[in-house]
């Protein structure tokens, strides 16, 4: 509660009239103030990092007035709020994003220039917020950007890991993991809120209270400390909030030790409860099943749901004193979106708070819960589907286990009524599997939600026909598709400014917030000047990437060659190994026919493997060894170059994506839920070579099949082949080039110092149950690459297709995706209205 102040004095406390960065002089003044007053350095001793921080604080000043005004506005209008819950946010750097979205990049640029500093160099000093693994975490970040740009009252909730995704180093061709201490320097973007600590409870037991209620007792408490970061919308004066929770020991932690006088040990042990948010689990599409992870999931969920309820109680309609808060309207005021099953405990945490704390009846609580929560699934891979051992779950969260048991009984009752004779179906659909002794979090998420969606059309269809078939038959109305999208701000306007300018000179800047307008570029597909400009911009981006790689990694690549790129997490289903077999074949062809005229290619790989994923790590080593063999072979010259780039993440992607000629999207059909690097490369004028999987199918629909290189088994063919029996050896025996490539790996051609190094890879490729059917798609993949080569020889024809790809990328904006979520799931209304400038007074 705010202290009581006299009306007139109180009015002097206002953000009105605080100087903003309207011009260059203003920027310099504020910058100087921060360097001296916040950082406490002068120019004799300031480091580049101090200058980075000073400019970050300067930009932040401009942003916070809008941030405060946005909160005031959302309080006044009390529109329905959207809560995005995710264990991962792969945000990347904030500085340039904030400047662009606020429209102050020019004045900041110039001010720094006048002070003798270089904005681009300073930007590189920001450590990136890499609190995610891959697609799922980056999607959450793109969605926050779009929700703010569309004027939604939206909040991201996540965990503030001390250590995000590890830093990858490649040493002698092997991946090594190093901790990335992104908080070593204070992060200028986050604001801690120690006054809003939220208690989170674990362990203990449940007893029956006198009044017949369930009571959770003897639990231990850990506190969740919120850290807020700003999420600016594009040019609309909206600044939303990403709230990340950090674990803080409760002072009462280990009371027994304090009481026994072992003060030192008691204080020392406090730190162990703070381990909950120490580190991000580095797995993509894989569930490790560790108790610390379950603690993390509950930590996020409990702190966030408590916070959401508290905000509801403090909202305008509920502030009226001494009136019992009415939860009937809760689902009209709050939508909670679960980013995969990781925050699935929200279902039972909301139930617990409504029943045990707010005293609602079970039926009403369940109705409110379902109407509030919706669930997005991001994968069909069985190894990624979360199932917690019953004992572990019950011990850590006894009250939640009871509630799941109740929900399951209620759910199976409905199933039984619908299919009275079908015992097998009941067994398949149980949330708590007593035989396997597991709690199925996917099923809990479906049962506790009113909407369930996949992330591309094909994936959503497969959800309904495979892992969620029974649930689809029970509640067909819940199931939807929401094809993923990427934010055109970070993934074109900011990362590829020259292309953005070129597009704007042709069609104006409307595309920045309405990406479908890119289709107007089709009018220029035959415009020779435009074709040359597009070629020039691509070439300059390739040159820039080449220089960057030379400077930072001492890697030499030739910007005159084709940049053929596969950057994404290392996973067998993504089939980097298929790409590697192709590279070996290209190498062999050049060796066999050294006089043949071929195009120059630079084949770029990048991506992290989960530290415990042996096969993926061995594939990295193989790629690196092939790269070495190719580069040491004098016959090859500049026709082929293979590089594995270290530490792929958001910041490196921002440099690579604008320089891509060819985008490799080659997963086995049915396994990549959507993909999003495919969209980024398309938007930046890369052509796709890909299978009919995930969002590739929709990319093909949008751009037309003449403007994309598709190949390989369709999902249906994969299914039939599996049914009839996939026989890897057949393909191996019948394709001499394929056989040669595999034999070379087997015989140690790429690892003469240890010829058996890759024997496991060779063995698994030839097994009849090789899950990713690499050899089945090899031949068509090679042929597709020959079509690529043909087209690339004609620079003009190639560039025309680049233009058609950019023109067709409109669908893949995260703004389009968020509009669909808003309409079909959240029931909120996007707006392009701009909030008044902060100086105009309270909105
Ligand atoms: C990924 C999917 O593999 C990818 O295809 C999709 O584009 C991305 O999610 C965003 O929807 N899934 C994960 O990263 C994951 O961990 C549990 O799923």
Q: Which atom of ligand 1 is nearest to the CA of 139?
A: 10
C-alpha 366 to ligand 1 mean position (Å): 29
- Name the pLDDT band for 254 (thresholds 50, 70, 90): low
Rounded Cα gap, residues 756 and 745, in angstroms: 9
User: Sign of dihedral through CA atoms 260, 265, 270, 272?
Assistant: negative
Least confident of 293-307, 319-333, 413-427, 779-793: 319-333
Residues 6+ apart with CB under 8 A from 660: 563, 565, 681, 684, 685, 686
Q: Is the pLDDT score of 255 beyond 80? A: no
Rounded Cα gap, residues 600 and 594, in angstroms: 13
In the prediction, which pLDDT does 164 show? 98
Catalytic residue from among 369, 676, 691, 799 = 676
Residues 6+ apart with CB under 8 A from 95: 52, 55, 56, 59, 122, 123, 126
Residue 85: count other Cβ atoms within 10 Å of its Cβ: 26
> pLDDT tens for residues 117-152?
999 999 999 999 999 999 999 999 999 999 999 999
Residues 6+ apart with CB under 8 A from 418: 474
- Name the pLDDT band for 712 (thresholds 50, 70, 90): very high
Q: Which atom of ligand 1 is nearest to the CA of 484?
A: 11
Rounded Cα gap, residues 474 and 425, in angstroms: 11
- Name the pLDDT band for 317 (thresholds 50, 70, 90): confident
Q: Determine phi and psi for 525, rounding to 5 degrees.
A: -65, -25
Nearest to 143, CA basis, from 83, 62, 60: 83
Q: Does the beta carbon of 484 lie inside 6 Å of ligand 1?
A: yes
C-alpha 377 to ligand 1 mean position (Å): 8
C-alpha 453 to ligand 1 mean position (Å): 13
Q: Determine phi and psi for 509, rounding to 5 degrees.
A: -100, 10
User: Sign of dihedral through CA atoms 310, 314, 317, 320?
Assistant: positive
Catalytic residue from among 80, 90, 569, 582 = 569
In the prediction, which pLDDT does 322 show? 65
Q: Does the beta carbon of 378 lie inside 6 Å of ligand 1?
A: yes
Reply yes or no on whether 829 is catalytic: no
Asked if 285 and 167 count as a contact pair (C-beta separation under 8 A), the reply is: no
Rounded Cα gap, residues 131 and 162, in angstroms: 9
Asked if 615 and 181 count as a contact pair (C-beta separation under 8 A), the reply is: no
Tokens standing for 664? 């490799």
Q: Which atom of ligand 1 is nearest to the CA of 672?
A: 5
Rounded Cα gap, residues 371 and 349, in angstroms: 15
Average pLDDT over residues 498-514: 98
Q: Does the beta carbon of 284 lie inside 6 Å of ligand 1?
A: yes
Q: Which of helix, strand or coil describes residue 520?
A: helix
Closest residue (by CA) to atom 9 of ligand 1? 136
Closest residue (by CA) to atom 17 of ligand 1? 285
Q: Does the beta carbon of 386 lie inside 6 Å of ligand 1?
A: no
Q: Does the beta carbon of 340 lie inside 6 Å of ligand 1?
A: yes
Rounded Cα gap, residues 201 and 836, in angstroms: 42
Rounded Cα gap, residues 348 and 282, in angstroms: 26
Distances (CA, A) of 420 to 415, 423, 471: 8, 8, 16
Q: Which of 378, 445, 453 is the best mutation target for the ligand 1 pocket, counting ligand atoms within 8 Å of the beta carbon and taking the most? A: 378
Q: pTM for the whole thing?
A: 0.97
C-alpha 675 to ligand 1 mean position (Å): 7
Q: Which of 90, 135, 574 is the best mutation target for the ligand 1 pocket, counting ligand atoms within 8 Å of the beta carbon and taking the most? A: 135
Distances (CA, A) of 514 to 162, 534, 745, 803: 37, 21, 49, 18
Q: Which of helix, strand or coil describes residue 522?
A: helix
In the prediction, which pLDDT does 5 show? 60
C-alpha 133 to ligand 1 mean position (Å): 9
Asked if 537 and 502 count as a contact pair (C-beta separation under 8 A), the reply is: yes
C-alpha 52 to ligand 1 mean position (Å): 33
Catalytic residue from among 34, 248, 568, 801 = 568
Reply yes or no on whether 295 is catalytic: no
- Name the pLDDT band for 268 (thresholds 50, 70, 90): confident
Rounded Cα gap, residues 666 and 672, in angstroms: 9
In the prediction, which pLDDT does 95 show? 98
Reply yes or no on whether 425 is catalytic: no
Question: CA-CA-CA-CA torsion for 833, 835, 837, 840, nearest 10 degrees?
Answer: 110
Q: Which of helix, strand or coil describes residue 773?
A: coil
Closest residue (by CA) to atom 15 of ligand 1? 285
C-alpha 678 to ligand 1 mean position (Å): 13
Tokens standing for 78? 């009390």
Asked if 179 and 106 count as a contact pair (C-beta separation under 8 A), the reply is: no
C-alpha 189 to ligand 1 mean position (Å): 27
Residues 6+ apart with CB under 8 A from 212: none
Q: Which atom of ligand 1 is nearest to the CA of 342?
A: 17
Rounded Cα gap, residues 588 and 594, in angstroms: 10
In the prediction, which pLDDT does 111 show? 94
Exposure string of 195-218, with b = 16+ CB inside 10 Å and e = fewer, is eeebebbbebebeeeeeeeeebee
Q: Does the beta carbon of 285 lie inside 6 Å of ligand 1?
A: yes
**Residues constituting the chain:** 843
- Going by DSSP bridges, is the β-strand pair 89-92/214-217 parallel, antiparallel, or unpaired? unpaired
Least confident of 24-33, 242-251, 266-275, 577-586: 266-275
Q: Does the beta carbon of 134 lie inside 6 Å of ligand 1?
A: yes
Rounded Cα gap, residues 695 and 681, in angstroms: 13
Q: Does the beta carbon of 379 lie inside 6 Å of ligand 1?
A: yes
Q: Which of 87, 285, 693 is the best mutation target for the ligand 1 pocket, counting ligand atoms within 8 Å of the beta carbon and taking the most? A: 285
Q: Does the beta carbon of 455 lie inside 6 Å of ligand 1?
A: yes
Asked if 211 and 220 count as a contact pair (C-beta separation under 8 A), the reply is: no
In the prediction, which pLDDT does 133 show? 98
Q: Is the pLDDT score of 1 beyond 60? A: no
> pLDDT tens for residues 214-230?
999 999 999 999 999 99
Q: Confirm whether the ipTM is greater than 0.95.
A: yes
N- to C-terminal Cα separation, the chain: 22
- Name the pLDDT band for 514 (thresholds 50, 70, 90): very high
C-alpha 428 to ligand 1 mean position (Å): 25
Q: Which of 88, 136, 693, 697 is the best mutation target for the ligand 1 pocket, counting ligand atoms within 8 Å of the beta carbon and taking the most? A: 136
C-alpha 135 to ligand 1 mean position (Å): 5
Angle, alpha carbons 131-135-141 (nearest 5°):
55
All domains of the chain, ordered by start, with CATH? 1-77+94-127 (no CATH), 78-93+128-482 (3.40.50.2000), 488-825 (3.40.50.2000)
* Sheet of strand 601-606: strand arrangement: 640-645, 601-606, 562-567, 662-665, 687-690, 709-710
C-alpha 653 to ligand 1 mean position (Å): 17
- Name the pLDDT band for 263 (thresholds 50, 70, 90): confident
Nearest to 493, CA basis, from 474, 507, 479, 512: 512
Asked if 454 and 374 count as a contact pair (C-beta separation under 8 A), the reply is: no
- Name the pLDDT band for 6 (thresholds 50, 70, 90): low
Q: Which of 132, 134, 663, 680 is the best mutation target for the ligand 1 pocket, counting ligand atoms within 8 Å of the beta carbon and taking the most? A: 134
Rounded Cα gap, residues 62 and 146, in angstroms: 20
User: Sign of dihedral through CA atoms 751, 753, 759, 760?
Assistant: negative
Residues 6+ apart with CB under 8 A from 439: 387, 388, 389, 390, 393, 401, 404, 431, 432, 433
> pLDDT tens for residues 542-586?
999 999 999 999 999 999 999 999 999 999 999 999 999 999 999
Tokens standing for 17? 């009239």
Q: Which residue has tokens 């699935």?
A: 344
Q: Is the pLDDT score of 96 beyond 80? A: yes
Nearest to 48, CA basis, from 95, 96, 116: 116
Tokens standing for 227? 């850290």
Q: Which atom of ligand 1 is nearest to the CA of 459?
A: 5
> pLDDT tens for residues 778-821?
999 999 999 999 999 999 999 999 999 999 999 999 999 999 99
User: Sign of dihedral through CA atoms 297, 300, 301, 302?
Assistant: positive
Rounded Cα gap, residues 320 and 342, in angstroms: 36
Q: Which of 143, 673, 818 is the best mutation target for the ligand 1 pocket, counting ligand atoms within 8 Å of the beta carbon and taking the most? A: 673
In the prediction, which pLDDT does 20 show? 62
DSSP 24-63: HHHHHHHHHHIIIIIS---TTT--HHHHHHHHHHHHHHHH
Catalytic residue from among 574, 582, 617, 641 = 574
Q: Does the beta carbon of 677 lie inside 6 Å of ligand 1?
A: no
Average pLDDT over residues 148-170: 98
Where on the phi/psi map is residue 289: left (φ > 0), alpha (ψ -120 to 50), or beta?
Answer: left
Average pLDDT over residues 325-347: 98
pLDDT > 90: percent of the chain: 92
CA atoms within 13 A on the CB side of 135: 26
Rounded Cα gap, residues 275 and 247, in angstroms: 7
Burial (CB count <10 Å: 0-12, 13-18, 19+), residue 171: exposed
C-alpha 785 to ligand 1 mean position (Å): 27
Catalytic residue from among 93, 342, 378, 478 = 378
Catalytic residue from among 80, 680, 801, 811 = 680
Rounded Cα gap, residues 248 and 269, in angstroms: 12
Q: Does the beta carbon of 490 lie inside 6 Å of ligand 1?
A: no
Q: Which atom of ligand 1 is nearest to the CA of 134?
A: 14
Chain centre distance of CA 344:
18
Nearest to 616, CA basis, from 286, 128, 138, 290: 286
Q: What does pLDDT average to over the chain?
A: 96
> pLDDT tens for residues 11-68?
777 777 665 667 899 999 999 999 999 999 999 999 999 999 999 999 999 999 999 9
Q: Is the pLDDT score of 266 beyond 90? A: no
Q: Does the beta carbon of 384 lie inside 6 Å of ligand 1?
A: yes
Q: Which atom of ligand 1 is nearest to the CA of 133?
A: 14
Reply yes or no on whether 676 is catalytic: yes
User: Sign of dihedral through CA atoms 181, 186, 188, 190?
Assistant: positive
């Amino acid at each position: 509660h705010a202290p009581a102040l006299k009306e007139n004095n109180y009015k002097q406390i206002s953000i009105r009239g605080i100087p903003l960065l309207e011009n260059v002089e203003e920027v310099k003044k504020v910058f100087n103030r921060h360097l001296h007053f916040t950082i406490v350095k002068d120019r004799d001793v300031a480091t580049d990092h101090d200058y980075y921080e000073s400019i970050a604080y300067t930009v932040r000043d401009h942003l916070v007035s809008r941030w405060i005004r946005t909160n005031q506005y959302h309080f006044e209008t009390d529109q329905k709020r959207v809560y995005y819950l995710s264990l991962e946010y792969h945000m990347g750097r904030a500085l340039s994003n904030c400047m662009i979205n606020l429209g102050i990049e020019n004045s900041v640029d110039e001010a720094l220039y006048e002070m003798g500093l270089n904005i681009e160099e300073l930007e590189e000093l920001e450590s990136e917020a890499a609190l995610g693994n891959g697609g799922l975490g980056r999607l959450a970040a793109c969605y926050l950007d779009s929700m703010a740009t569309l004027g939604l009252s939206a909040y991201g909730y996540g965990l503030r890991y001390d250590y995000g995704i590890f830093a990858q180093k490649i040493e002698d061709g092997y991946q090594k993991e190093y901790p990335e201490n992104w908080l070593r320097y204070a992060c200028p973007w986050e604001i801690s809120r120690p006054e809003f600590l939220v208690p989170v409870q674990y362990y203990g037991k449940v007893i029956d209270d006198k009044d017949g209620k369930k009571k959770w007792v003897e639990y231990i408490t850990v506190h969740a400390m919120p850290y807020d970061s700003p999420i600016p919308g594009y040019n609309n004066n909206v600044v939303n909030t990403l709230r990340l929770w950090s674990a803080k020991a409760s002072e009462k932690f280990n009371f027994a030790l304090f009481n026994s006088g072992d003060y030192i040990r008691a204080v020392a042990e406090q730190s162990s409860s703070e381990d909950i948010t120490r580190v991000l689990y580095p797995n993509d599409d894989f569930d490790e099943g560790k108790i610390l992870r379950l603690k993390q999931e509950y930590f996020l969920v409990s702190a966030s749901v408590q916070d959401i309820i508290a905000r509801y109680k403090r909202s305008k309609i509920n502030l009226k004193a001494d009136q019992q808060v009415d939860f009937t309207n809760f689902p009209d005021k709050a939508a909670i979106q679960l980013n995969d099953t990781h925050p699935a405990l929200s279902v039972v945490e909301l139930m617990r708070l409504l029943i045990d704390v707010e005293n609602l009846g079970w039926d009403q609580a369940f109705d409110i819960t379902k109407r509030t929560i919706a669930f997005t699934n991001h994968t069909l891979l069985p190894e990624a589907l979360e199932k917690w051992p019953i004992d572990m779950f019950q011990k850590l969260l006894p009250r939640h286990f009871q509630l799941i048991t109740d929900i399951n009984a209620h759910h199976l009752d409905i199933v039984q009524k619908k299919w009275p004779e079908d015992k097998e179906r009941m067994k398949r659909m149980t949330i708590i599997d007593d035989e396997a002794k597991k709690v199925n979090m996917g099923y809990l998420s479906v049962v506790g939600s009113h909407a369930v969606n996949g992330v591309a059309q094909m994936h959503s269809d497969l959800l309904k026909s495979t892992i969620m078939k029974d649930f689809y038959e029970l509640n067909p109305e819940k199931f939807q598709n929401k094809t993923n999208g990427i934010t055109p701000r970070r993934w074109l306007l900011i990362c590829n400014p020259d292309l953005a300018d070129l597009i704007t000179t042709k069609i104006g800047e409307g595309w920045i917030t309405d990406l479908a307008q890119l289709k107007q570029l089709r009018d220029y597909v035959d415009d020779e000047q435009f074709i040359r400009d597009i070629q020039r911009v691509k070439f300059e981006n390739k040159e820039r990437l080449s220089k960057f790689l030379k400077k930072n990694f001492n890697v030499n690549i030739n910007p005159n060659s084709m940049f053929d790129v596969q950057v994404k997490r290392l996973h067998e289903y993504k089939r980097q190994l298929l790409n590697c077999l192709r590279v070996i074949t290209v190498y062999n062809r050049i060796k066999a026919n050294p006089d043949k005229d071929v195009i120059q290619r630079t084949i770029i790989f990048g991506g992290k493997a989960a530290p415990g994923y042996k096969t993926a790590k061995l594939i990295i080593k193989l790629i690196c060894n092939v790269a070495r063999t190719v580069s040491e072979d004098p016959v090859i010259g500049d026709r082929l170059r293979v590089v594995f780039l270290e530490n792929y993440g958001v910041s490196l992607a921002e440099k690579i994506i604008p320089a891509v000629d060819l985008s490799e999207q080659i997963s086995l059909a049915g396994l990549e839920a959507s993909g999003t690097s495919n969209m980024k490369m398309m938007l930046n004028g890369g052509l796709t070579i890909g299978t009919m999987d995930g969002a590739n199918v929709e990319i093909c629909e949008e751009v037309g099949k003449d403007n994309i290189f598709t190949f390989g088994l369709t999902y249906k063919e994969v299914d039939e082949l599996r049914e009839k029996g996939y026989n890897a050896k057949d393909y191996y025996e019948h394709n001499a080039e394929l056989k040669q490539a595999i034999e070379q790996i087997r015989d140690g051609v790429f690892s003469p110092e240890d010829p058996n190094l890759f024997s496991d890879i060779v063995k698994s490729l030839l097994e009849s149950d090789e899950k990713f059917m690499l050899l089945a798609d090899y031949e068509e993949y090679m042929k597709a690459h020959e079509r690529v080569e043909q087209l690339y020889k004609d620079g003009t024809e190639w560039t025309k297709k680049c233009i058609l790809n950019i023109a067709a990328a409109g669908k893949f904006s995260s703004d389009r995706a968020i509009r669909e979520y808003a309409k079909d799931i959240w029931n909120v209304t996007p707006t392009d209205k701009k909030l008044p400038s902060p100086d105009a007074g309270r909105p």
